[in-house]
Structure 1
Amino acid sequence: MTVTAFRHRPEPDEVARVTATAAELLEVLWGRASTAPASASQLRVLLILEHHEDINMRTLADSLASTPPSTSRLCDRLQAAGFVERAVSPADRREVRLRLSGRGRAFLADLRARRERQLRAVLDVMPTAKRVALLEGLEAFCDAAATRIHDDAGDSGNRIA
């Protein structure tokens, strides 16, 4: 299936449309690698905790654009599943710090491995030159997105993307 026929210099709108289509196709492929027993919201929490060890509950709630009670309930379920550990902050006993447990890290590693198998099946049928071009483009995209997320986080205080 051809998503689009590119001109020599594609416009950002065209690239954004094709990228959105690619993201949707990834969701379909990754849907084959179930995230059970974690929901999509819980998976997002796990990914944030993976990158922000010892985050406090309020900062996590802010990063999810959620309320502290809703975030706490998400973390209750993740803790019950053994994916998250909570600890009282030594500096302030009212503050709860969160981190991934070993089981949470193992879950994410397994999920990534299953997702990568789904991707490899698609990439295996692509010509090598197209895979190289995709890799170069994705590396540039990741750099630009990381810069944008970092800049946005700096503009909004403690918010984490």
Structure 2
Amino acid sequence: MTVTAFRPRPEPVEVARVTATAGELLEVLWGRASTAPASASQMRVLLTLEHQDGINLRALCDALSSAPPATSRLCDRLVAAGFVERVIGKADRREIRLHLSKRGRAFLDELRTRREQELQTVLRLMPVGKRAALLEGLEAFCDAATLQMDDKDARTGDRTA
């Protein structure tokens, strides 16, 4: 039996508190990798379009829990910046589909690279064993979060994801 067998098992409330703190620290670290010229709201649009390419404005509003006029203005700005393209639907010409442009994809790729560099700087300060434990824990977290989201989508009938 190892010493860790006697360690109390962390309760979800404790893990949630530390995870929330880690999320806040990530925001600070990622702040160093500026999202300029996109605002936080515009970033949400870009990330949503990356995962739901070709959705219409109504689906985007639902995904963002935002009103159509506000979402439309966000998209207007992103189109003007060259990050988003509007494409008229083939079946219904009144429907507009939203897509990330090549410039939008390149922006997200570059942003991820800068964010990963910030993370690598911090992770290098951690002992190797702790990094391995973090990786294992984060993989399990991602699996559980995906299951929870899929379950919630199944209960609500959400098929936009």
Show structure 1 runs of 4+ deviating over 4 A.
Answer: none
Larger Rg: 2
| Structure-2 residue corresponding to 1:115 | 115
- Deviation string 1:75-119 (CA, Å, 9 cap, x unpaired) is 000000000000111111221100100000000000000000110
Q: Against the structure 1 CA distance between its residues 62 and 159, is the aligned structure 2 distance closer, same or farther, given a 3 Å change threshold?
A: farther
Q: How much does 1:146 deviate?
A: 1.5
Q: Percent identical across equivalent pairs?
A: 70
1:59, 1:159 within 8 Å by CA — same for their partners in 2?
no
Q: How much does 1:159 deviate?
A: 6.8
Write the distance in 2 (CA, Å) between the matches of 1:157 and 1:43.
Answer: 26
Number of aligned residues: 155
Write the distance in 2 (CA, Å) between the matches of 1:66 and 1:96.
Answer: 17
> Does the alignment pair 1:79 with 2:79?
yes
| Structure-2 residue corresponding to 1:124 | 124
TM score, norm. by length of structure 2: 0.92
Q: What letter matches 1:80 in structure 2?
A: A
| Structure-1 residue corresponding to 2:35 | 35
Q: Against the structure 1 CA distance between its residues 38 and 50, is the aligned structure 2 distance closer, same or farther, given a 3 Å change threshold?
A: same
Q: How much does 1:152 deviate?
A: 2.1
Gaps of 5+ in 1: 1-6
Write the distance in 1 (CA, Å) between the matches of 2:75 and 2:154.
Answer: 26
Q: Against the structure 1 CA distance between its residues 74 and 159, is the aligned structure 2 distance closer, same or farther, given a 3 Å change threshold?
A: farther
Q: How much does 1:124 deviate?
A: 0.3
Alignment partner of 1:99: what SS?
A: strand
| Structure-2 residue corresponding to 1:49 | 49
| Structure-2 residue corresponding to 1:101 | 101
Write the distance in 2 (CA, Å) between the matches of 1:27 and 1:80.
Answer: 27
| Structure-2 residue corresponding to 1:140 | 140
| Structure-1 residue corresponding to 2:3 | none
Q: What letter matches 2:124 in structure 1?
A: D
TM score, norm. by length of structure 1: 0.92
- Deviation string 1:40-99 (CA, Å, 9 cap, x unpaired) is 010011001111111111000001001111111100000000000001111112211001
Q: How much does 1:8 deviate?
A: 3.4
Alignment partner of 1:87: what SS?
A: strand
Gaps of 5+ in 2: 1-6
Write the distance in 2 (CA, Å) between the matches of 1:99 and 1:118.
Answer: 29
Write the distance in 1 (CA, Å) between the matches of 2:45 and 2:153.
Answer: 17
| Structure-2 residue corresponding to 1:61 | 61
